[in-house]
Amino acid sequence: MNIALLGKKIGMTQVFDEDNRLIPVTVIEAGPCPVTQVKSTETDGYNAIQIGYRQQKEHRLSRAALGHLKKAGVEAVSELQEFRTNGDTELNVGDVLTVEKFEAGQKIDVIGTSKGRGFQGVVKRYGFAGGPASHGSMFHRRGGSYGMCQWPGHVIKGKKMPGHMGDVQRTVQNLQVVKVIAEKNLILVKGSIPGSRGSFVTVRTAVKQKTPKA
């Protein structure tokens, strides 16, 4: 069964491996995540497990959410998320998932929300070169011509134009786990992941693991 945990991005640092090579890593605090519900095809039409993360004060939750968690015998949490399974899970309601499920060298996927950049032009948003920077050119950081003549008479969908940048969900696949610090619920992942410090992330077993070339 694929393993998944909820957590938050702590930040980036660097560590040295056994060969004394410097590796940039992202520190993720993942779990502990209690299992709040186990779904099956007989009762729900599909197989899945629901896990929670981040303890929350009870008065901040709705009565429906609070009743759902109390039925599972789990303390109030602010985040709930489902993960599909093949029906072969051995987990039960109330079980707690921790970073001990992962190990160094394992490949994982990290899902997060990228940093919001606000409304940006085409130079920053798409890397356009822009026009001449000299005085009087009147064409410095614009995108050029967007419209057209009588036919079809409108801007084509997907045209690269100024607009909202960032603040979208992104998945980084096949990241390598460098180290797991179980006593602090930390996972050190090689490379960078989307989001700012403290942002919410999902860590799961890689679904498209790359096989090494012979």
Summarize pLDDT for 18-35 with one digit per residue, the tens: 889 999 999 999 989 999
Q: Would you state the pLDDT for residue 104?
A: 92
Q: Give the domain extent around 70.
A: 4-117+169-205
Considering the domain architecture, whether residues 102 and 153 belong to the same structural domain is answered as: no
Q: Which residues contact 97 (CB under 8 A, 6 or more apart)?
A: 3, 4, 5, 31, 32, 33, 34, 35, 51, 91
Residue 171 carries which side chain, given as an amino acid letter? T
Cis peptide before 132 (omega within 30 of 0): no
* 127 phi-psi bin (left φ>0, alpha ψ -120 to 50, beta other): left
Rounded average pLDDT over 149-156? 83
Considering the domain architecture, whether residues 98 and 124 belong to the same structural domain is answered as: no
Q: What is the CATH number of the domain that holds 40?
A: 2.40.30.10
Q: Which residue has the tokens 């960078």?
A: 192
Considering the domain architecture, whether residues 69 and 135 belong to the same structural domain is answered as: no
Nearest to 117 by CA among 172, 173, 171, 162: 162
Considering the domain architecture, whether residues 194 and 147 belong to the same structural domain is answered as: no
Assign 211 a pLDDT band (cuts: 50, 70, 90): low
- Residue 47 sits at φ, ψ, to 5 deg, of -100, 130
Residue 125 lies in a domain: yes
Q: Which residue has the tokens 């032009």?
A: 121
Assign 113 a pLDDT band (cuts: 50, 70, 90): very high
Q: Would you state the pLDDT for residue 37?
A: 92
Considering the domain architecture, whether residues 46 and 131 belong to the same structural domain is answered as: no
Q: Both tokens of residue 84?
A: 């599909």
Q: Would you state the pLDDT for residue 1?
A: 59
Considering the domain architecture, whether residues 107 and 10 belong to the same structural domain is answered as: yes
Q: Would you state the pLDDT for residue 214?
A: 55
Other Cβ atoms within 10 Å of 78 Cβ, number: 14
Q: Quick check: 145 pLDDT over 90?
A: no
- Overall domain count for the chain: 2
The residue count of the chain comes to: 214
Considering the domain architecture, whether residues 17 and 113 belong to the same structural domain is answered as: yes
Mean pLDDT of the chain: 91
Q: Both tokens of residue 173?
A: 């696949």
Q: Both tokens of residue 72?
A: 């599972």
Residue 210 lies in a domain: no
Considering the domain architecture, whether residues 141 and 61 belong to the same structural domain is answered as: no
Q: Using DSSP, state whether 78 is helix, strand or coil.
A: strand
Considering the domain architecture, whether residues 123 and 187 belong to the same structural domain is answered as: no
Q: Would you state the pLDDT for residue 213?
A: 63
Considering the domain architecture, whether residues 100 and 189 belong to the same structural domain is answered as: yes
Rounded average pLDDT over 94-113? 93
Q: Would you state the pLDDT for residue 146?
A: 84
Considering the domain architecture, whether residues 82 and 44 belong to the same structural domain is answered as: yes
